[in-house]
Amino acid sequence: MYNEINLDKIDINSKPPTEEQARQYYFMAKCRELVKEFEQKNGRLPSACVATFGCQMNARDSEKLRGVLREIGYVETESEDADFVIYNTCTVRENANLKVYGRLGVLHGYKKKNPGMKIALCGCMMQEPSVVEKLKKSYQFVDLIFGTHNIFKFAELLWTTLVSDRMVIDIWKDTNQIVEDLPLERKYPFKSGVNIMFGCNNFCSYCIVPYVRGRERSREAKDIIREIEGLVADGVMEVMLLGQNVNSYGKNLEEPMTFAQLLQEVEQIEGLERIRFMTSHPKDLSDELIEVMAKSKKICRHLHLPLQSGSSAVLKVMNRRYTKEQYVELAEKIRTAIPDIALTTDIIVGFPGETEEDFQETLDVVRKVRYDSAFTFIYSKRTGTPAASMAEQIPEDVVKDRFDRLLKEVQEISKEMAERFTGTEQMVLVEEPNRQMEGYMTGRLGNNHVVHFPGDVSLTGRILKIRLDECRGFYYMGTLPEI
């Protein structure tokens, strides 16, 4: 594993190794020399800030960036007025891009005060050629740009940037490489994301992910298991298995296996208490998976099952490959097999051509399935996707009105759904002190609901039984029954 590699033993005057893992450690050692020089010159270690936009995949990637920076000797800071700042970007909706441009303006101000500062950008947004063009033209002060496929090269790219005064750009179109065992800095000591696959082959017509994250690639089960065993030995109790479409895990492996089979293997890991996963595509969700979940003692009672639209006509144009009826039937099957499960979803309103009748179909599914919570999105046109060139884009005021109506419905239902657990006792993983209420801790139920309860920081990372006294819409107030 990575923590057995000693950077001091690496000969940085030799040629860089070609084997990828060894190569990145070699560059970490070289960067560390530069950090030492910085320290001698400035009487302090350089600071680094990693800012993450977007999904859980990005959050996990940021842990990899932090791991490398820590190994090199940077001191982590939350302030973007730092010696090294990296934005791990998202591009799933236009808003995410706009946010990055806005914040880059602020970074430029910091860099004027601290000319030695290095600014880096990585992640999904960088996989779009138009973005890189814009940065080259109007954001000359950015020092390093790389994408999603070569994040494992971060140490090498960082070194190149530190010794150069030109903009370093390295974007790959795709890769089938998966480099294991690089450093990592986990946000929480007791829970962790674990990538099980990368990329997506679905090409939903509105979605840019397949273009920026590349084709589907699964990690070998033995590597996943080994990583989780290592995490458990290091104090992790809960893992979140991550992939854009976990239900098609294993299809492209030399020895194919199903996601349900992988889950059964993960379940066997001693000391691991909770298993989560994200995201499931309804078209690939098997009976085998439902059965494995129903029997499991460790898989959390939560399933995120993106609906996107309740209209079969819209779903067809979205290229989702299921109908309204198939989706509702699947949700019913899941609720019957696992009655206490929380079902959550993603819904897009204002997809090109969506009529009021289509929208009513979406509301109908929301009422039938009764989601425990739902992320609702206004359709965002992503250049390069098939939906972007569809004729009938919906006027903003119509979309906004539908969005508000959907949100109201979703919120009322999720509040009612949450009430069904009020008064019960549930096992809760205690995550952190509550930021607003002194003397309170915040924890998470298996079904992903949050509860605040009186307690102190010593409870962090423990799984405790908590009584849910009161439901306040999106969260509960609770107490420890035995104290």
Residues that bind ligand SF4 (CB under 6 A): 200, 202-204, 207, 209-210, 244-245, 281
Closer residue to ligand 5AD (CB): 24 or 309? 309
User: Rule CB under 6 A: is residue 380 a binding residue for ligand 5AD?
Assistant: yes
Closer residue to ligand SF4 (CB): 158 or 209? 209
Closer residue to ligand 5AD (CB): 97 or 380? 380
Cβ atoms of 180 and 21 within 8 Å: the answer is yes
Cβ atoms of 243 and 197 within 8 Å: the answer is yes
- Please list every residue from 21 through 40 that binds ligand 5AD, using CB under 6 A: none
Q: What is the CA radius of gyration of the chain?
A: 23
Minimum gap (Å) between residue 201 Cβ and ligand SF4: 8
Which one of ligand SF4, ligand 5AD, none interacts with residue 248, CB within 5 to 8 A by kind? none
- Phi, psi of 438, rounded to the nearest 5 degrees: -60, 140
Which one of ligand SF4, ligand 5AD, none interacts with residue 379, CB within 5 to 8 A by kind? ligand 5AD
Closer residue to ligand SF4 (CB): 198 or 476? 198
DSSP-derived 3-state class of residue 66: helix
Closer residue to ligand 5AD (CB): 215 or 295? 215
Cβ atoms of 195 and 245 within 8 Å: the answer is no
* Among the listed residues 239, 211, 332, the one whose alpha carbon sits nearest the alpha carbon of residue 282: 332
Scanning 142-150, 191-199, 373-381, 393-401 for contacts with ligand 5AD by CB under 6 A, the matching segment is 373-381
Among 49, 207, 228, 300, binds ligand 5AD (CB under 6 A): 207
Cβ atoms of 336 and 294 within 8 Å: the answer is no
Among 110, 141, 377, 440, binds ligand 5AD (CB under 6 A): 377
Token pair of 227, please? 């990583």
- Phi, psi of 247, rounded to the nearest 5 degrees: -70, -15
Q: How far apart are CA 134 and CA 151, in angstroms?
A: 21
Q: Is the peptide bond before 279 cis (omega within 30 degrees of 0)?
A: yes
User: Rule CB under 6 A: is residue 93 a binding residue for ligand 5AD?
Assistant: yes
Measuring CA to CA, how many Å separate 431 from each of 63, 477, 479? 18, 15, 15
User: Rule CB under 6 A: is residue 386 a binding residue for ligand 5AD?
Assistant: no
User: Rule CB under 6 A: is residue 92 a binding residue for ligand 5AD?
Assistant: yes
Which one of ligand SF4, ligand 5AD, none interacts with residue 210, CB within 5 to 8 A by kind? ligand SF4
Among 185, 220, 265, 346, binds ligand 5AD (CB under 6 A): 346
Among 31, 57, 262, 348, binds ligand 5AD (CB under 6 A): 348
Q: How far apart are CA 363 and CA 354, in angstroms?
A: 13
Q: How far apart are CA 474 and CA 92, in angstroms?
A: 25
Closer residue to ligand 5AD (CB): 58 or 161? 58
Among 66, 191, 219, 382, binds ligand 5AD (CB under 6 A): 382
Minimum gap (Å) between residue 479 Cβ and ligand 5AD: 35
Closer residue to ligand 5AD (CB): 274 or 382? 382
Minimum gap (Å) between residue 285 Cβ and ligand SF4: 12
Scanning 21-29, 31-39, 378-386, 432-440 for contacts with ligand 5AD by CB under 6 A, the matching segment is 378-386
User: Residue 461's Cα: distance from chain center in Å?
Assistant: 21
Scanning 30-38, 70-78, 379-387, 468-476 for contacts with ligand 5AD by CB under 6 A, the matching segment is 379-387
Alpha helices (H) in 221-341, listed in sequence order: 221-233, 259-267, 287-295, 312-318, 324-337
Closer residue to ligand 5AD (CB): 153 or 213? 213
Minimum gap (Å) between residue 240 Cβ and ligand 5AD: 15
Alpha helices (H) in 10-55, listed in sequence order: 20-42
* Among the listed residues 69, 279, 309, the one whose alpha carbon sits nearest the alpha carbon of residue 185: 69
Closer residue to ligand 5AD (CB): 33 or 346? 346
**In this chain, which residue has its C-beta nearest to ligand 5AD?**
346
- Crossing angle for the helix pair 287-295 and 324-337, to the nearest 10 degrees: 20
- Please list every residue from 288 through 317 that binds ligand 5AD, using CB under 6 A: 306, 308
Q: How far apart are CA 110 and CA 45, in angstroms?
A: 18
Closer residue to ligand SF4 (CB): 209 or 429? 209
DSSP 94-141: HHHHHHHHHHHHHHHHHHHH-TT-EEEEEEGGGGSHHHHHHHHHH-TT
Burial of 196 (C-beta count, 10 Å sphere; 0-12/13-18/19+):
buried
Which one of ligand 5AD, ligand SF4, none interacts with residue 377, CB within 5 to 8 A by kind? ligand 5AD
Which one of ligand SF4, ligand 5AD, none interacts with residue 203, CB within 5 to 8 A by kind? ligand SF4
Residues that bind ligand 5AD (CB under 6 A): 92-93, 206-207, 306, 308, 346, 348, 377, 379-380, 382
